Structure 1
Amino acid sequence: MSTLQVTAERLVVHPHPNADRLELAQVGLYHAVVAKGQFVTGDHAVYIPEQAILPEALIDELGLTGKLAGTQRNRVKAVRLRGEVSQGIACTPAALSGVDLAVAAAERTDFAELLGVVKWVVPVPVSMSGQVESAPDLLRWVDVENIKRFPGIFTAGEPVVATEKIHGTACLLTHLRDGDRILVSSKGIGGRSMSLIADEGNLYWRAVRAHGLDQTARKLAAALDADRIGLFGEVYGAGVQDLHYGASAAQDASLGFGLFDIAVDRGGAPVRWLDAHEITTLLADLGLEVPRVPVLYEGPYDAEALLRLAEGTETVSGANANIREGLVVRPATERLSPVLGGRAIGKIVSTAYLLRDGGTEYE
């Protein structure tokens, strides 16, 4: 998941092609359906993204009682309104009536706390949790922001690599040279600098052992003379999330895994993320066979082409068994992003995935 920020944004307003009383307010590359005349191009409004949980008072103020998602009807979710996908809410809450939203937009002020908006966090199944311990040396995964929200992450024509986004759960493994230790965690638990104590029933430890990831990490650490090696991959299959790709978590042999990143910490230098081609070459040179997420595109960055590529059916199963969740896009040569203030990486989520019924989002 991406981070939750409730920010002021400059809107571009478009006609709604199928409704006389509605318009489309554009934020980045998102469209939020709004009442006609509520905003004009150049106005600033507060944008509340998907996966946000709203307090009852704000829901009532916005006239959204009973119209949001979730059992308590308080969660923002992508919806289709008169044929157009609406992602997030553009609004001007009364609590911010004295705020200069243009200034707030320039300063990237986050209004989430003031408005009582929090991120939706799903309780995870027992197999995906477990006993934990403090792990300050764990290499953590990053929040991958949506390119539609931050279209300036990449520049047109920049060489990029786009991999298929698999709907599973992120598995974090860190090898520590000091003591030859292996730390294993999930994205959510790892985000708190905690690791999972080894347990034969735990999903993440099962994936590590089933795919020999601990031994892979040790060999990579030796080859790169690294103090820490981080392996990041997606664990998937029936019993993990609602999309299964023909795999199953019932048995170790059928549990799916796809490596998507490697991080290297060596000699006190900043942690380095390996380029996609570096990973390919390194694994081949060491004779290591690790399942990886499919590469769907390599070439110059073209936002419109990648938005189209994010749709359709997946390639993971080889049988088009599920809808495609989307893409994860990285520069061909790893770099930092001034837009994000960190690593340049972004995702595009397919419309079919956003609008599906009965979806799960465990992390």
Structure 2
Amino acid sequence: MSTLRVTAERLTIHDHPNADALELAQVGLYRAVVAKGVYRTGDVALYIPEQSVLPDALIAELGLTGRLAGPAANRVKAVRLRGELSQGIVCRPAALEGTDLARAATDDADFAGLLGITKWVPPVPVSMSGDVEAAPDLLPWIDIENLKRYPDVFAPGEPVVITEKLHGTACALTYVAATGQVLVTSKGLGAQRLALKESPHNLYWRAAHGHGLPAAAAALAGRLGATRVGLFGEVYGSGVQDLGYGADGRRDVPGYAAFDVAAEIDGDVRWLDPADVLSDGTLPVVPRLHAGPFDLDVALALARGAETVSGRGLHLREGVVVRAAADRHSPLLGGRAIAKVVSDAYLTRKGGTEFE
């Protein structure tokens, strides 16, 4: 899940093909449905992204009472309005009256705190929870921004790798070479430097032991001369999320596919492509869909279609992850040059689950 930022953005306005009273306001590659005539191309307004949780007063001010997602009808979610996908909310709240939004856009100011907007945190099922302990040596996973919000992360023609994004739950395992310690955690707990105590009932530990992650991490640490190795993979199957890929997450060994590897070598943490460092078949890895020059249209197209994990195209594809072939820093993102694209069909599917 990406970080939450509520920012002022310069808009591009498009006609809505199916509604005379509506238009589409574009931010990056996102489009949000707005009332016709409120904005013109070049105007600046606030953009509230998906997965934002709004306070009741702001919901009422925007005329959205009872129209948002979640049990409390307060979460922003992608929806189709008269056939067009609307991602996020474009508005000018009264609390920002008198604010120079054009200057705020230039300064990249964040208004989430001022407006009382928070980030939605997915619920954690019992099978994914457990007792925790402090883990200062843990290598945590990172938030990934959406390429639609930041379409200029990669230069045209830049060498990239595009892999399939799976709908499961992220498992982070850290192996500490000096002590042989193995730390297992979820994405959310890892961000707090907390590890899950070992339990045969915990989904992440079942995946770690079932797929031999500790031994794979230890072998990789020895091969790379690393003091710590982090294996990051998606645990999936029926009972984990609504998309199961033909696996059963309720069994002793749920589905697993590695999507990233980190290694601390000479004091520096380096991010490595699992398809390269795990090429011996030690662990299953996420499907690689493209390796070559970056083309935005190719990345967007690959986010659509059927999943390839099962080999049978059992259901829709969640999306893709795009990363620089040679890991690098992105000044635009302020971190790694890595981004995701989530398919429209996935965002608007019925009966979907979104657990931690």
Q: How would you bin the TM-score normalised by the shorter chain? A: over 0.9
Amino acid at match of 1:257: Y
Match of 2:296 in 1: 303
CA drift of 1:135 comes to 0.8
Match of 2:270 in 1: 272
Are 1:143 and 2:138 counterparts?
no
Matches within 5 A, 1:96-107: 96-107=96-107
Whole-Å separation in 1 of the counterparts to 2:277 and 2:166 = 23
SS in 1 for 2:222: helix
Whole-Å separation in 2 of the counterparts to 1:207 and 1:115 = 41
- Percent same amino acid among aligned pairs? 62
Alignment TM-score, normalising by the size of structure 1: 0.96
Match of 2:337 in 1: 344
CA drift of 1:252 comes to 2.3
Preserved contact between residue 216 and residue 288 of structure 1 (Cα < 8 Å): no
Preserved contact between residue 164 and residue 327 of structure 1 (Cα < 8 Å): yes
Matches within 5 A, 1:7-156: 7-156=7-156
CA drift of 1:94 comes to 0.4
SS in 2 for 1:359: coil
Residue-by-residue CA offset, 1:148-202 (whole Å, 9 max, x unaligned): 0111111111111110000000000001112110010000111111000111110
Whole-Å separation in 2 of the counterparts to 1:151 and 1:315 = 25
Provide the alpha-carbon RMSD of the alignment: 1.0
Gaps of at least 5 residues in structure 1 are none
Match of 1:325 in 2: 318
SS in 1 for 2:242: coil
Match of 1:201 in 2: 201
Whole-Å separation in 2 of the counterparts to 1:123 and 1:361 = 8
Amino acid at match of 2:317: R
Whole-Å separation in 2 of the counterparts to 1:21 and 1:190 = 46
Residue-by-residue CA offset, 1:79-115 (whole Å, 9 max, x unaligned): 1111110000000000011211111111111111111
Are 1:357 and 2:350 counterparts?
yes
SS in 2 for 1:40: coil
CA drift of 1:288 comes to 4.8
Amino acid at match of 1:218: A
Amino acid at match of 1:177: A
Matches within 5 A, 1:214-293: 214-253=214-253, 255-268=254-267, 270-274=268-272, 276=273, 279-284=274-279, 287-293=280-286
Whole-Å separation in 2 of the counterparts to 1:132 and 1:153 = 36
User: Segments of 4+ in structure 1 off by > 6 A?
Assistant: none
CA drift of 1:283 comes to 2.8
Distance change in 2, residues 1:161/1:132 (3 Å): same
Whole-Å separation in 2 of the counterparts to 1:251 and 1:63 = 46
Match of 2:171 in 1: 171
SS in 2 for 1:229: strand
Number of matched residues? 356
Preserved contact between residue 275 and residue 285 of structure 2 (Cα < 8 Å): no
CA drift of 1:281 comes to 4.1
Gaps of at least 5 residues in structure 2 are none
Amino acid at match of 2:75: R
Whole-Å separation in 1 of the counterparts to 2:97 and 2:217 = 53
Whole-Å separation in 2 of the counterparts to 1:320 and 1:85 = 24
Preserved contact between residue 165 and residue 325 of structure 1 (Cα < 8 Å): yes
SS in 2 for 1:214: helix
